[in-house]
Amino acid sequence: MMKHTGNESRTFSIVRNLTLPVLLIVLWHLWALALPTGSPAPTPIKVVQTLGEMLGKGDLVSATVQSLGRVLTGFSVASMLGIVLGLMMGSSQAVRENLDPIIESFRPIAPMAILPIAILLLGTGTPTALAIVAYASFFPVVVNTVHGVSRVDRKLVLAARTMGVSRFAILTRVVLPGALPSILLGTRLAMGVAWTAIIAAELAVGAKSGGGGSGGIGQMMFVFYAYNIDLNAIVVCMTVVGLVALCIDHIFKMLEKRLTPWRQEI
């Protein structure tokens, strides 16, 4: 047996990590070589070329920024509402009893299912996209906030109350920090769902309004699908969607570490 030094096994594991993705790309390339000329099928080389062109034109960046802006707006509104409502539901039984049935019965209704209603009420523009994003991100935030509040140490609340701390101060100084890890988890989940929902909403709005001017990266994908058929560009958009999702997830994980360093792994 050969003795692996630490360095060597590290190289091995990097090689192993890269094997499958590289292999797939090579296979894709070989498959693309066998295609007849003029086929619309995406190939690795053309995808990279298209990426370069789209970056050069700047429409990819502007569409992504537009989608991200919508996600952030809708998400902020929904998470504010979700956190406030969740804190209220978590700390008052009366509020929880009354709101829980309604929230639980809306939860299984997917954001995409209310899209037709949103289109009817708000048209095919930005308001619809915002409504879908807000709806999608509201539930993870509110549910996790309630859960977080329920796990706050009862003794801390009682201690604060014994010392004559006001209700509002208890909420902001005891309950909120106690529930923060769970709330942050909720917002991270919500942001992931919101990003998925915006793509779906923009895609479907594009599909159903005949490419109406709603913009965003989902709409862009739809235009590449239906009007100027360009599969390479669709693959580029998919990659961007994935990268953005990855970045969002990392930023929120970093925030979690920063804001709640005392938290244990959930």
Partner 1 sequence: MPNDPNRDVFRAYRPVWVSLRSFACFFLLWWLLYLWNGNPLQLPSPVKVFEALWGLLREGEIAEHASVSTLRMLTALCLAIAVAVPLGFVMGLSRQAQQFIEPLVEILRPISGIAWLPLALFIFGVGDTLPVFIMFYVGFFPIVLNTMAGVKQTDPRLLAAARTMGVGPLPLLFYVLVPSALPTIMVGIRLAFAGSWAAIVAAELIGAPSGLGFAIEWYRQLLMTPKVFAFILAIGVVGYLCDLGLRALQKRLTPWAEGVGVA
Which of residues 141 and 170 has its CB atom nearest to partner 1 in the complex?
Answer: 141
Kindly state whether residue 131 participates in binding partner 1, applying the rule CB under 8 A: no
Rounded to an integer, what distance in angstroms lies between the CA atom of residue 177 and that of residue 261? Answer: 11
CB of 120 to partner 1, least distance (A): 5
- Binding partner 1 (rule: CB under 8 A), the pick from 48, 110, 159, 254 is 110
89 touches partner 1 (CB under 8 A): no
Task: Confirm or reject binding of residue 85 to partner 1 (CB under 8 A).
Answer: no
Binding of residue 176 to partner 1 (CB under 8 A): no
Which listed residue (56, 101, 164, 261) binds partner 1 by CB under 8 A?
101
Nearest CA-CA partner of 71 in 193, 182, 184: 193
Is residue 174 a contact partner of residue 157, using CB atoms and an 8 Å limit?
yes
Q: Is 239 among the residues that bind partner 1 (CB under 8 A)?
A: yes
Cβ proximity of 225 and 117 under 8 Å: no
* Residue 221 interacting with partner 1 (CB under 8 A): yes
Binder of partner 1 out of 127, 177, 231, 260 (CB under 8 A): 231
Which positions ≥6 away from 28 have C-beta within 8 Å?
43, 44
Q: Among 116, 213, 251, 257, which residue sits at the site for partner 1 (rule: CB under 8 A)? A: 116
SS3 260: coil
Asked whether 83 and 141 are in contact (CB, 8 A), the reply is: yes
State how far the Cα of 121 lies from the Cα of 68, in Å rounded to an integer.
23
* Residue 20 or 33 with smaller CB distance to partner 1: 20
Distance CA 179, CA 191 (A): 18
Query: What's CA 86's distance to the chain center, in Å?
Result: 20
d(CA 85, CA 81): 6
Examine residue 241 and tell whether it contacts partner 1 (CB under 8 A).
yes
Residues that bind partner 1 (CB under 8 A): 13, 16-21, 24, 40, 42, 97-99, 101-102, 105-106, 108-117, 119-121, 195-196, 199-200, 203-204, 207-208, 221-222, 224-225, 231, 234-235, 237-239, 241-243, 245-246, 249
